[in-house]
């Protein structure tokens, strides 16, 4: 019986319109979603346990209102949930969350911890390998495929110049790319069942450990420098091709 | 004296341009602060990189040689960098942001109980720590961040700085490294695919990116031909790498590689947020798409509304004519 813990994060919807006011990020919709990379990690754990038997526990560290995202994980098919409740509106960094999760995992038994490789809002991609380091687990990042083989995980990972097949022993930690699968949409039945699934609630303040602190400071947000508006050309394809090639040569000096 | 350490990535015997960009920035900051900028190379025979590195003017080149450094193996790399940090005691350890450094940064930060600032588009250093900016929210906006203490682990997006040669004769020091294979923890079974392209996409001066509009072998051939004429690297949108039409290593975007070439030509690319996050810092953007409302046209300097199959052949011919003139 293989046991996966999958770490989930609630993130603002990066596709929704946003604006910056006095250095603060404001999203009118306020729409919060399950981090897409975490959804892929969960999907893969579900596929593997459906095939080989086992259990999937979804763990989410976040404020009270993030519980809906944990519910989504349960509706997708996780067997049980753990909500580590953090203070509302506080800016914690990756090391804080990794420290919190490490304190939670310290006395747990499991085969694998799986996380998204990064979160869609910050793209930092630190928490997974931080958590592995704090728990002294072997790890592999940026997985694009997972296979289970005698309680070992075969991780196909995307490297800089190709893909590598890495054998990860248990217990171990893997971080997943969204290039791995298409996460399932919870069915109505899944949503109904999720309401009966056990969720353990733990206050973040009750978890203790050396690593639970933020070491970076977010100073604020600003707009990216705007690009100069460009030109759009329509017309005969051949004429367009010659015009643009000419401009890239004469005006941009790129030939 | 305080020290800034740049990790130098080498692939197929060639020093990565993105590492030289980071080294050049560290050289500049060290000069301002009266500190020392040094470089670290981990290779099967790291001394081979010395000559290529010297013109870029680090005060010192630290080499560490071991057969394991031929591949990306997480545990040996973590041990080696940890050992170097202990020996050199740098205030900052800077990396080019690559899949390789992304794999290590969090673990290094946690192991040292100190901060990591990943994927920065600019950074500065003062006596207390590191500050700078990084793109967030699918690279739509910038966040300003700061980390105090030492060492701070920083990774920098490619194209953020220029590699610059400078005067000076670097001292070379070899650091010893031994590794017991029983400590490997994970096993690299095989390299599944390796891109055969001679031009490294993340470092190319010109990038041709293929999107959904490139439907067939004929389209791919046109992309190849254009890339050859311009000596460009070829990348692709997520749709095409997921469909198996292009190698996954070639994906440009939030999930894949970040490119910032002098010239980017998007062919049949619509310009989805996730793709734009990986190319919006390109200097000149050319887009070819038959849909006049494609979002790529909002950021393109030169937007060509047209069928790529009709535009590319005369475009390639004209570029060839200009080049030979």
The class level of CATH for B3-183 reads: alpha beta
A2-206 CATH choice from 3.40.50.620, 1.10.530.10, 3.40.50.720, 2.60.40.10: 3.40.50.620
- Average pLDDT of B92-115? 97
Minimum mean pLDDT range among A158-167, A237-246, B184-193, B222-231: B184-193
Given CB atoms, is B318 within the 8 Å cutoff of chain A?
A: yes
Distance from CA of A47 to the nearest CA of B (A): 19
Helix (H), strand (E), coil (C) string for B113-148: CCCEEEEECEEEECCCEEEEEEEECCCCEEEEEEEE
Question: Which pLDDT does position B186 carry in this prediction?
Answer: 92
Given CB atoms, is A175 within the 8 Å cutoff of chain B?
A: no
B252: its two tokens: 């440009």
User: Rounded distance, CA B163 to CA A12, Å?
Assistant: 36
Minimum-distance CB partner of A241 among B117, B249, B315: B315
Minimum-distance CB partner of B314 among A163, A237, A254: A237
What are B73-82's pLDDT values in tens digits? 999 999 999 9
- Helix or strand or coil: residue B296? helix
pLDDT band at B168; cut points 50, 70, 90: confident
Question: Which pLDDT does position B195 carry in this prediction?
Answer: 64
Most confident of B19-23, B137-141, B192-196: B19-23
Minimum-distance CB partner of A216 among B117, B191, B318: B117
A201, A152, A198, A187: which is closest to A172 by C-alpha? A152
User: Rounded distance, CA B252 to CA B201, Å?
Assistant: 9
Is A161 within 8 Å of B238 when comparing Cβ atoms? no
Given CB atoms, is A19 within the 8 Å cutoff of chain B?
A: no
Question: Which pLDDT does position B197 carry in this prediction?
Answer: 66
Q: What are the domain boundaries of chain B?
A: 3-183, 201-324
Question: Which pLDDT does position B237 carry in this prediction?
Answer: 96
Mean pLDDT of chain B: 95
Is B144 within 8 Å of A248 when comparing Cβ atoms? no
Residue A58 and residue A200 in contact, taking contact as beta carbons nearer than 8 Å:
no
Measured between CA atoms, the residue of chain B closest to residue A35 is: B137
- Write out residues 249-278 of B within 8 Å (CB-CB) of A: 249, 251, 254-256, 262-263, 273
Given CB atoms, is B168 within the 8 Å cutoff of chain A?
A: no
Environment class of A31 (CB within 10 Å of its CB; exposed 0-12, middle 13-18, buried 19+) = exposed
Residue B228 Rama label (left phi>0; alpha psi -120 to 50; beta): alpha
Given CB atoms, is A94 within the 8 Å cutoff of chain B?
A: yes
pLDDT band at B292; cut points 50, 70, 90: very high
Question: Which pLDDT does position B194 carry in this prediction?
Answer: 67
Strands A152-158 and A139-149: antiparallel
Residues of chain A where predicted confidence (pLDDT) is lower than 50:
none
Question: Which pLDDT does position B47 carry in this prediction?
Answer: 96
* Model confidence at B1: pLDDT above 90: no
- What CATH architecture applies to the domain B201-324? 3-Layer(aba) Sandwich (3.40)
- Average pLDDT of B137-150? 94
Question: Which pLDDT does position A89 carry in this prediction?
Answer: 79
Measured between CA atoms, the residue of chain A closest to residue B262 is: A254
Return the ∠ at Cα A212 (arms to A210 and A214), rounded to 5°. Answer: 125
* Model confidence at B161: pLDDT above 90: yes
Residue A167 and residue A154 in contact, taking contact as beta carbons nearer than 8 Å:
yes
- Average pLDDT of B210-227? 96
Residue B143 and residue B134 in contact, taking contact as beta carbons nearer than 8 Å:
yes
User: Rounded distance, CA B319 to CA A246, Å?
Assistant: 8
Q: What are the domain boundaries of chain A?
A: 2-206
Judge if B3-183 and B201-324 fold alike in CATH terms: yes
């Amino acid at each position: 019986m293989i046991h996966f813990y999958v770490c989930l994060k609630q993130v603002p919807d990066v596709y929704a319109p946003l604006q910056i006011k006095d250095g603060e990020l404001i999203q009118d919709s306020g729409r919060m979603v399950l981090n897409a990379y975490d959804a892929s990690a969960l999907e893969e754990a579900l596929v593997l346990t459906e095939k080989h038997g086992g259990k999937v526990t979804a763990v989410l560290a976040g404020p009270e209102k993030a519980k809906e995202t944990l519910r989504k994980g349960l509706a997708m098919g996780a067997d049980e949930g753990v909500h580590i409740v953090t203070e509302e509106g506080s800016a914690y960094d990756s090391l804080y969350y990794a420290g919190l999760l490490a304190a939670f995992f310290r006395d747990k038994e499991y085969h694998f911890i799986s996380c998204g490789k990064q979160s869609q809002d910050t793209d930092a991609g630190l928490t997974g390998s931080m958590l592995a380091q704090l728990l002294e687990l072997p790890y592999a990042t940026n997985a694009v495929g997972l296979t289970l083989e005698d309680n070992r995980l075969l991780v196909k990972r995307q490297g800089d110049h190709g893909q590598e097949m890495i054998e990860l022993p248990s217990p171990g930690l893997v971080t997943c790319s969204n290039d791995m699968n298409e996460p399932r949409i919870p069915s109505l039945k899944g949503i109904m069942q999720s309401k009966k699934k056990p969720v353990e609630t733990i206050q973040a303040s009750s978890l203790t450990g050396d690593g639970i602190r933020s070491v970076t400071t977010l100073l604020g947000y600003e707009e990216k420098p705007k690009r100069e508006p460009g030109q759009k050309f329509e017309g005969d394809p051949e004429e367009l091709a010659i015009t643009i090639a000419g401009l890239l040569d004469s005006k941009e000096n790129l030939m | 004296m305080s020290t800034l350490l740049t990790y130098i990535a080498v692939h197929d015997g060639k020093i990565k341009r993105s590492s030289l960009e980071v080294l050049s920035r560290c050289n500049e900051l060290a000069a301002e602060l009266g500190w020392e900028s040094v470089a670290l190379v981990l290779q099967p025979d790291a001394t081979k990189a010395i000559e290529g590195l010297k013109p870029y003017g680090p005060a010192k080149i630290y080499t560490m040689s071991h057969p394991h450094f031929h591949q990306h193996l997480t545990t040996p790399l973590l041990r080696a960098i940890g050992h170097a940090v202990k020996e050199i005691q740098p205030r900052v350890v800077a990396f080019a942001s690559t899949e390789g450094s992304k794999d290590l940064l969090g673990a290094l930060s946690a192991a040292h109980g100190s901060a990591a600032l990943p994927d920065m588009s600019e950074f500065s250093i003062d006596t207390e720590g590191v500050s700078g900016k990084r793109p967030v929210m699918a690279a739509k906006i910038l966040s300003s961040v700061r980390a105090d203490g030492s060492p701070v682990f920083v990774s920098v997006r490619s194209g953020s700085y220029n590699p610059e040669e400078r005067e000076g004769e670097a001292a070379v020091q070899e650091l010893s490294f031994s590794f017991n294979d029983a400590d490997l923890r994970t096993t690299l079974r095989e390299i599944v695919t390796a891109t055969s392209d001679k031009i490294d996409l993340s470092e190319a001066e010109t990038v041709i990116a293929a999107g959904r509009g490139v439907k067939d072998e004929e389209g791919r051939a046109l992309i190849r031909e254009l890339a050859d004429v311009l000596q460009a690297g070829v990348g692709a949108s997520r749709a095409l790498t997921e469909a198996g039409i292009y190698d996954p290593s070639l994906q440009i975007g939030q999930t894949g590689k970040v490119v910032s070439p002098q010239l980017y030509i998007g062919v049949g690319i619509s310009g989805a947020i996730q793709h734009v996050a990986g190319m919006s810092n390109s200097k000149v953007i050319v887009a070819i798409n038959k849909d006049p409302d494609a979002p790529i046209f909002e950021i393109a300097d030169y937007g060509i509304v047209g069928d790529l199959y009709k535009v590319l052949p005369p475009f390639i011919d004209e570029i060839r004519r200009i080049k030979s003139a």
